[in-house]
Chain A
């Protein structure tokens, strides 16, 4: 009897920790993850993946933009230093990896959609069109930064079931990608004109769409505006110029079929509604302000001061020791002059209330001023000066209204209140020497006016678009040559990240010849 009790006691003890088959399966999967998803959820995941490159965020502003595009665009003033025109590996890699993660989410969306029945695919078509438009917007930016990139074969690891050797993607030529995007976007614009969305699906679309809140009309306007942007960008390239001219005319001449973003109410942006969600701009402050990343450049301040730009007090504020005087940092000065100038607190900076400390700063996608300036450029090229002037001045008005509206979103009171902009002030500004369209007598002069306004309008808010326009339109900006480095002036493209050269070696080899900082993009013909 005692023996049996001993044995029982012993096995009772052992039984406490013994494992059943179900225990193994239960502990194999991470309890915080799921094995199935839906078009709705993956669509939102896709859009959320690159939110920190749309909404102002710390990493993008501090690590990626501060030492790269903000310099090349001269939208900030900084202390000159050796190697300042070589983009850092961290900036390139982080932005690149985020884009390809974003693309991988899109491919996963395609995969999920692909498994649906034909009927359901038709129902979810609106999600797929919207996703494609949003993807192309960001793809175009990456092409503009690097030139040729992997795209059609990229992001397929999940679709290939984890076969990574089969998933190393080839590069697509930049101009071919532009062509593809233009074709696809045109088709999307036409399809959106005929699409009817199942009301049940529309409920989910409205909820999950972070950009246009499920408004199909706004997607149409976004799509056509994006087409305008791509067409404008390639308009000086000889193989694209004819297509650009005719398609731009077709869009601008047919607003009922091809509506564009006409005024600020149409602006495509991600609004910040609740700071406690991850859709916020809380990181703008440190991202822009740290290490004096918000110092105003003399070139921009002087332009705004001499033409009495109403935006000056909205976009900038005087230095803490500067009283009411706006002074920018002279980029042609030497470091030993610049350093004490910054430390003295006399230099103007980006308005903290409007921008960096405005936690409700929207994630800017496309806006009316940008579209108006593109229209103006196409009218100048078409010789239609009157229409060009109208569009140009509309662009400026929209830009002013835009900064006024953005400031109104801010709950921060760091910088002093500003006086409202009066209509008379705008009129005076439009007639100022450096602004007046009438005073520009040649097409080239008119284009430079537009370029200057794009620079003032996009400043640190849309640096990637601005850098493309700076390279394409070459506004007059002066940089100190860096004699101690092979790269003496700002680069005209970004190199590829190191990971490509090692892990996608064979495909990289095909483009390695173009992988230098002075290789112009195909649309950068001047």
Chain B
């Protein structure tokens, strides 16, 4: 009844107002809108203030509008400050818009989703706009951030759209703990999670993290809160910074209905593979180096036609590639086929597939007096490089706001993500980090692809005698260099099937209530919950008669974050100059997760029957649960003096269940101030804007759930012949600590922001200094103490750094504008203290003490140590009797540090008429990595580097091998004195033998590479030099290039659209510079924690992307 009445009232009101408008006198005003360079602006909107009366400027920037008396025109155009102009009696006006200056009044989203004026902020916030995120068609927002915000470093795990992406803000803040920022979507913390992809034996598939579920097309902007003060309201969750995502709403839309359409398609191709040699195949020529049964030319003979005569040449089985040079003549490969002996440059192709990504997004916005709504649907399909991997995501996003009463409004946001991931990329670890999986140059993935399934659909069998019902299909494996690891990889991507389905809902409801004029109440309730299932099917590998094989597993999981906050805000203008704002609030969240799984045990009872019913033994089962509660009281106070001096203080007292309940609450204060000196003082005219800011704050980090509590694990051994099942308890070998305290980061920061020369130059710089005390880490213990690690508060870290950004409009004419900007940040990291009595912390001991990664007090985290070449008392290098340098087993020397020094980006945007070219370059300097697998490939003779000294042309010395003295002797003769063969691949290393005599022993280059780039510490490989594996990973990469064309409005209109633009884009395009030529600089990213990003190149190949995109508005 009431609504009906209201409806009638509204209707009457509308009619009445229409009548009123009709009744007024109207007159026409014409004019031209230009920018301050005098260029006419086409498409600017001119509105009569307080009405819906609006027009758009034409191609020459002119307009004509009918207005009432005493009208005020509001002129606005994207990228320019809006301008209001009261028109008196004049009929024509010329209006000049100032570019970019609207940024000063721009509202930036800060903690808890509170919008604040940019100029009032006393700390650095980087804001990234929607266009910057979507230009190059990235499937998730994080990979669109490369180089776009100072102090923010992105690292993506190879493998495609389902692989985890790391975000690091202002260096690494935790020695062994989480390094990832808190991700907040429209004011609510969402699940991100961590991924570790460096443990092949624990998990062979490349995992992702939660941020991949946020669709860039639905994002309006991203604010990155970097310092402690900026993030202080998030207290104990903000030690790594906060990424605030604001999704698009209907609020900014023009009144009425708007429809936007966007579609993109791109392909991923393998890129940045090592530079392989194309000269020789498996084996070894000098027999004295390694005898694998080869003849002097490096071949072996095989009997292909089973006549008892070995008539066909082939290569010996070897994982080294110093065999005979390619000659193009017939040879038997391991699959029994005879082919020309030449390099297989496409060897990798058949092991992978081409990746592709498509994204189609339609959004509808509608805005009315009392409500606005945006609804968007997106479908994303991503195919990874890994054979059979595919990911399909459907996103539905609703963002709406209703004004229920004059002083009460409700915002509703629902994000629904439905996805199916089939066969996540399979780790290539065994093909990069294992000698027996490195594909040689006369070997081809397609040969494996043809053989991994038998004609009966079973797993391939090796060995002539291998048990099989199709023995004639068995892979001989006795010659040709068959690589079981590659066959195994190929088999698994074909025969192992994993389908993960996930439904995720991120939804929130926010109520705003203006209680009285100065008092506002806001409450928010939100959830982020995910229900997931997974089914894993691995095919039956062999006939049942030979034993049960294959498996089936089911997994179901649920996780949820329930979040709420209540904020009461009081605003008071004390006088004309001073405004106060006080806010108090409460926030709480509850996280829950559980997971149950079951799988077959002992193989499948019926071939390829994928169900638990097929389990031969009682099915395995597993489960896990997790719950975490947190809450906090928060308070802020802001003062604004004359709109040029701002001060804000915040405090948060939070509590978490991951800490001992008797001591789980901590207080996080912060203060910041901003001073707009350009408003306070008279400045030279070229300075349009100047701001100085300073802040200080504390944020923290808690231990992971359940890590602190010390308790017994319990279980059952089942019945072991007694009357009862045997129940048991054990104490954990990772010991907790009920007295643990949170990590605390105390950071201060200063900054300067300025705009100059008619706003054509923008400059920003910050200095920060953060000390992180009470690092929570699992201190490694000797097992002899009773545990292998204990949770402790030890260690102090410091991160200090500089961030700077400058951008300017280099060219601005009627048809052409060119904007460019560069940002860079340098971070200095230092370990200030560790556990009492400890000066270093070992993160990893690689390959049997070949190298170590450790953090040493007084140094930045992550020093790489390796054994140096041994020297005698005179400092001369010692050469072992085998002609190679001896490695000093007793000392280790620092060869590098893992922390990057400088990261940043350089963007360029050129507009010419309807064309826009966006180019994004990002860079990183410093920071060592040790991509061991790469150097092993070199050692196995696979890379161009290992051709050095291979013959005269490559600088090799002629020599013969004296089997008695076991030395190589340089010679110019055709044979040695006893008729020994003469080889050309000699090298004499400068140095001395143990007795101090100059080294004259000629080593074979093959032996040199094979041995120097081998596996293991001196105990295993006394001449293997890991110091050569540790290298700086600096690069300048052409990250993104987009060329777009905006169709003339007339063309767009002819097909019923308001605007249409087409673009082509490329990502990860090429390097302008890189220090490690044989890999992509991000290839070693294999986990969320910093120490998981340094060593392993075995996740998936890197890729390069090209795509096209269309955008249309209706």
Q: Residues of A with Cβ closer than 8 Å to B?
A: 2-3, 6-7, 9-11, 13-14, 16-19, 21, 23-38, 40-42, 44-46, 48-49, 83, 86, 88-89, 96-97, 100-101, 103-105, 107-108, 149-150, 154-159, 162, 164-165, 167-169, 203, 206-208, 210, 213-214, 271, 273-279, 282, 320-321, 334-336, 339-340, 343-345, 484-486, 497-500, 502-504
Contact = CB atoms under 8 A, between A and B. Distances in A.
A19 B293 contact: no
B657 interface: yes
B344 interface: no
A356 B657 CA distance: 48
A10 B511 contact: yes
B710 A162 contact: yes
Contact of A14 (B523, B618, B842): B523
A279 B717 contact: yes
A104 B293 CA distance: 51
Given A104-B731, A108-B731, A168-B782, A24 B525 contact: no
B783 A100 contact: yes
Contacts of A30: 706, 709, 711
Contacts of A40: 727
Contacts of B766: none
Nearest to B848: A89
B293 A274 contact: no
Contact of B629 (A6, A24, A344): A24
Contacts of A149: 784
Interface in B637-690: 655-661, 664
Contacts of B848: 88-89
29 contacts: A2-B405, A10-B566, A13-B509, A14-B565, A18-B564, A24-B655, A27-B658, A32-B713, A34-B711, A41-B727, A41-B728, A41-B729, A42-B730, A44-B728, A48-B717, A83-B1020, A86-B1019, A100-B784, A108-B730, A150-B784, A208-B726, A274-B720, A276-B718, A277-B718, A335-B291, A343-B477, A486-B1022, A502-B842, A504-B784
Interface stretch (B90-98, B108-116, B237-245, B785-793): B785-793
B661 A24 contact: yes
A316 to B, nearest CB: 17
B836 interface: yes
Contact of A499 (B563, B719, B780): B780
Given A10-B521, A44-B728, A279-B720, A18 B784 contact: no
B26 interface: no
A498 B844 CA distance: 11
Contacts of A2: 405
Contacts of A169: 782, 784-785
B465 A89 contact: no
A397 to B, nearest CB: 28
Contact of B566 (A11, A203, A213, A339): A11
B583 interface: no
A164 B783 contact: no
Contacts of A104: 731, 733, 786-787
B723 interface: yes
Given A89-B848, A162-B735, A210-B720, A157 B586 contact: no
A344 B465 contact: yes
Contact of A213 (B523, B706, B722): B722
The 4 residue pairs across chains A and B that have the minimum distance between CB atoms: A157-B786, A207-B722, A277-B718, A27-B657
Contacts of A504: 782, 784-785
A21 B731 CA distance: 28
Interface residues of B, number: 98
Contacts of B714: 32-34, 37, 41
Contacts of B602: 282
Interface of B: 291-293, 317, 405, 408, 463-465, 467, 477-478, 509, 511, 513, 515, 521, 523-525, 562-566, 586, 588-590, 601-602, 617-618, 624-625, 627-631, 655-661, 664, 705-706, 708-714, 717-724, 726-731, 733, 735, 737, 779-788, 790, 792, 836-837, 842, 845, 848-849, 882, 1016, 1019-1022
B781 A34 contact: no
A321 to B, nearest CB: 5
A372 to B, nearest CB: 27
A22 to B, nearest CB: 9
A24 B664 contact: yes
A12 to B, nearest CB: 9
B894 to A, nearest CB: 16
Nearest to A13: B525
Nearest to A208: B726
Contacts of A167: 781, 785-786
Contacts of B617: 275-276
B513 A27 contact: no
B785 A156 contact: yes
Name which of B630, B727, B780 has the most chain A CB atoms within 10 A of its CB.
Answer: B727
B737 A162 contact: yes
A17 B589 contact: yes
A83 B1016 contact: yes
Contacts of B657: 23-28
Contacts of A210: 717, 720, 726
A366 B467 CA distance: 37
Contacts of B292: 336
Contacts of B726: 44, 48, 207-208, 210
Contacts of B728: 41-42, 44-45, 48, 208
A27 B628 contact: yes
Given A29-B706, A32-B625, A343-B477, A155 B785 contact: yes
Contacts of B661: 21, 24-25, 28
Contacts of A17: 525, 562-564, 588-590
Contacts of B467: 320
A33 B712 contact: yes
Contact of A155 (B566, B711, B786, B836): B786
Contacts of A103: 786
A131 B119 CA distance: 72
B658 A157 contact: no
Contacts of B464: 345
A216 B784 CA distance: 31
